[in-house]
């Protein structure tokens, strides 16, 4: 009996010691649902089986679960003197321009990993010299920009703090029109605010906001300062990053847009792993199919995207694609609009052949196209101040 008790006590001691070692060195291992992304970022994802919705009448539990992981972001840009402000002739004609005031900005962000990664909008941090993050427990710290993706208006920040509250990532593909959602952020700088609404529409595109658009539309009140904040479901799981509103007055009019978390995860992995998001590219000029264009190019097609230009020696040209071809499918997925084609091509892996179904004249053609890497957008030079 004595020997048994000694063995039992030694086993318990070893297990307790192992627990404390893991809790100290790898605390995310102990978090429920903890996983690692393709780039090795620690994430907490909701179970694949949706949880039962809470009892009707209150979303307090969802807000308590998600709100601590939503942070306020304050940015600043240093004051700049006009390069000719000391020129006497310049002062004679234009007066003393002096030094422009420092610019400040306000937005929100979401802590998605115990490693300190924060998701926000690119337009929240673009051009900032300093970025300060404020947590709901009043802790403040400087944040570093790990990378940005202007094509989706997403940015990845990182902070060096311990015991960070982390949001649970949901599955935005399971959202349906009519689902209840909450928007959490810091509108107008008044402090963290939670608003509720429903999913008004899915897959919104052709809005002219980003290059790649696949927005969740919601009527939850979103205002300036909410950008980069969280759109969560009734279980408190992250479904999207609030990014834009439709407004004639500057305030909420019941039409807000959020980037799905599925897109955000792809951007996160690309930036952390490669420093940028790598997208497919085939070198064509697409246009929406219209009866006039169909008649001009002599093609008999009622749906798809018509190609009006093909880059010489580009991936599409090497595969045999021609102006006047109508792309109907990419990898067996229909392409009914230019935005759908852009999204489908961008998701292709550069260097890996992909199947394109075309309508050429009155016949169907299948081509194997080896996509290249989408060039990064060229930014226009900033005017001097």
Measure the CA dihedral 276/278/283/285, to 10°: -70
Question: Is it the case that residue 110 has pLDDT exceeding 90?
Answer: yes
Handedness of CA 351, 317, 340, 205 (dihedral sign): positive
Q: Which among 156-160, 187-191, 260-264, 341-345 has the top mean pLDDT?
A: 156-160
pLDDT value at position 278? Answer: 85
Distance from C-alpha of 336 to C-alpha of 303, rounded to nearest angstrom: 6
Residue 191 domain-assigned (yes or no): no
Task: With cut-offs at 50, 70 and 90, classify the pLDDT of residue 3.
Answer: low
User: Contact 219/179 with Cβ under 8 angstroms?
Assistant: no
What does the block give as tokens for 209? 């906001």
Task: With cut-offs at 50, 70 and 90, classify the pLDDT of residue 63.
Answer: very high
Question: Is it the case that residue 123 has pLDDT exceeding 50?
Answer: yes
Average of pLDDT values for 51-74? Answer: 84
User: Contact 346/280 with Cβ under 8 angstroms?
Assistant: yes
Distance from C-alpha of 65 to C-alpha of 32, rounded to nearest angstrom: 14
Residue 291 domain-assigned (yes or no): yes
Q: How many CA atoms lie within 13 A of 5 on its CB side?
A: 2
Task: With cut-offs at 50, 70 and 90, classify the pLDDT of residue 315.
Answer: very high
CB neighbourhood size of 329 (10 A): 16
Tell me which of 153, 219, 233, 325 is the catalytic residue: 153
Average of pLDDT values for 303-319? Answer: 93
Which residue range(s) make up the domain with 285?
280-373
Question: Is it the case that residue 380 has pLDDT exceeding 70?
Answer: no
Query: pLDDT digits over 202-231, tens only?
Result: 888 777 777 778 899 999 988 888 899 999
Question: Is it the case that residue 53 has pLDDT exceeding 90?
Answer: no
Average of pLDDT values for 173-185? Answer: 92
pLDDT value at position 142? Answer: 95
Residue 290 domain-assigned (yes or no): yes
Residue 218 domain-assigned (yes or no): no
Tell me which of 37, 113, 200, 227 is the catalytic residue: 227
pLDDT value at position 42? Answer: 82
Task: With cut-offs at 50, 70 and 90, classify the pLDDT of residue 385.
Answer: very low
Residue 41 domain-assigned (yes or no): no
Q: Which residues contact 249 (CB under 8 A, 6 or more apart)?
A: none
Residue 99 domain-assigned (yes or no): no
Task: With cut-offs at 50, 70 and 90, classify the pLDDT of residue 73.
Answer: very high
Q: Which residues contact 345 (CB under 8 A, 6 or more apart)?
A: 279, 280, 281, 282, 330, 371
- CATH code of the domain containing 284: 2.30.42.10
Average of pLDDT values for 45-62? Answer: 73
The least confident of 2-11, 65-74, 208-217, 363-372 is: 2-11
Whether 153 is a known active-site residue: answer: yes
Task: With cut-offs at 50, 70 and 90, classify the pLDDT of residue 46.
Answer: confident
- In the block, which residue shows the tokens 């004639």? 248
CB neighbourhood size of 177 (10 A): 11
Average of pLDDT values for 358-380? Answer: 83
Tell me which of 72, 108, 113, 123 is the catalytic residue: 123
Q: How many CA atoms lie within 13 A of 39 on its CB side?
A: 18
Task: List phi, psi (to 5°) of 160.
Answer: -110, 85
Task: With cut-offs at 50, 70 and 90, classify the pLDDT of residue 83.
Answer: low
Residue 365 domain-assigned (yes or no): yes
44: β partners? 34
pLDDT value at position 58? Answer: 82
Exposed e or buried b for every residue in 102-121, given b needs 16+ CB within 10 A?
eeebbbbbbbbbbbbbbbbb
| CA angle in degrees (0–180, nearest 5) for 217-279-286 | 75
pLDDT value at position 384? Answer: 33
User: Contact 35/44 with Cβ under 8 angstroms?
Assistant: yes
The least confident of 87-91, 151-155, 290-294, 353-357 is: 87-91
Distance from C-alpha of 360 to C-alpha of 97, rounded to nearest angstrom: 61
Task: With cut-offs at 50, 70 and 90, classify the pLDDT of residue 102.
Answer: low
Q: Which among 95-99, 227-231, 372-376 has the top mean pLDDT?
A: 227-231
| Strands, sheet with 144-149, edge to edge from the N-terminal-most edge strand | 140-142, 130-134, 70-77, 103-111, 117-121, 154-158, 144-149
pLDDT value at position 382? Answer: 37
Question: Is it the case that residue 85 has pLDDT exceeding 70?
Answer: no
pLDDT higher at 314 or 80: 314
218: β partners? 199, 256
Measure the CA dihedral 122/127/129/130, to 10°: -30
pLDDT value at position 351? Answer: 92
pLDDT value at position 29? Answer: 47
Whether 9 is a known active-site residue: answer: no
Distance from C-alpha of 378 to C-alpha of 374, rounded to nearest angstrom: 12
Whether 82 is a known active-site residue: answer: no
The least confident of 34-38, 60-64, 226-230 is: 34-38
Domain count, the chain: 1
pLDDT value at position 343? Answer: 82
User: Contact 213/203 with Cβ under 8 angstroms?
Assistant: no
Residue 323 domain-assigned (yes or no): yes
Q: Which region holds residue 218: left if phi is over 0, alpha if psi is between -120 and 50, else beta?
A: beta
Task: With cut-offs at 50, 70 and 90, classify the pLDDT of residue 103.
Answer: low
Q: 52 exposed, middle or buried (CB, 10 Å; 0-12, 13-18, 19+)?
A: exposed
pLDDT value at position 358? Answer: 94
pLDDT value at position 368? Answer: 95
């Amino acid at each position: 009996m004595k020997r048994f008790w000694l063995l039992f006590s030694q086993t318990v001691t070893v297990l307790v010691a192992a627990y404390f070692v893991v809790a100290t060195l790898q605390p995310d291992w102990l978090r429920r649902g903890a996983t690692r992304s393709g780039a090795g970022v620690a994430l907490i994802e909701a179970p694949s089986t949706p949880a039962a919705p809470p009892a009707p009448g209150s979303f307090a539990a969802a807000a308590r679960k998600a709100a601590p992981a939503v942070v306020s972001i304050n940015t600043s840009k240093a004051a700049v003197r006009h390069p000719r402000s000391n020129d006497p002739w310049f002062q004679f004609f234009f007066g003393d321009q002096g030094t422009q005031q420092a610019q400040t900005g306000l937005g929100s962000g979401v802590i998605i990993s115990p490693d300190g990664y924060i998701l926000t909008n690119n337009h929240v941090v673009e051009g900032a010299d300093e970025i300060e993050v404020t947590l709901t427990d009043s802790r403040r710290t400087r944040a570093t920009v790990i990378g940005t993706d202007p094509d989706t208006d997403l940015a990845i920040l990182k902070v060096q703090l311990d015991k960070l509250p982390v949001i649970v990532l949901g599955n935005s593909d399971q959202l349906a029109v009519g689902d209840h959602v909450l928007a959490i952020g810091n509108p107008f700088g008044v402090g963290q605010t939670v608003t509720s609404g429903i999913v008004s529409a899915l897959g919104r595109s052709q809005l002219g906001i980003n290059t790649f658009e696949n927005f969740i539309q919601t009527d939850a009140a979103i205002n300036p300062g909410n950008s980069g904040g969280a759109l969560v479901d009734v279980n408190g799981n992250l479904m999207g990053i609030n990014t834009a509103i439709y407004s004639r007055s500057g305030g909420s009019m019941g039409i807000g847009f959020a980037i799905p978390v599925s897109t955000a995860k792809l951007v996160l992995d690309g930036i952390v792993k490669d420093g940028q998001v790598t997208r497919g590219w085939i070198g064509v000029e697409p246009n929406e199919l219209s009866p006039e264009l169909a008649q001009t190019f002599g093609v008999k097609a009622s749906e798809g995207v018509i190609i009006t230009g093909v880059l010489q020696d580009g991936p599409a040209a090497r595969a045999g694609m021609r102006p006047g071809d109508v792309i109907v499918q990419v990898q067996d997925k229909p392409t009914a609009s230019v935005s759908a084609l852009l999204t489908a091509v961008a998701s292709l892996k550069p260097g890996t052949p992909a199947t394109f179904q075309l309508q050429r004249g009155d016949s169907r053609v299948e081509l194997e196209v080896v996509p290249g890497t989408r060039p990064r957008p060229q930014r226009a030079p900033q005017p001097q101040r």
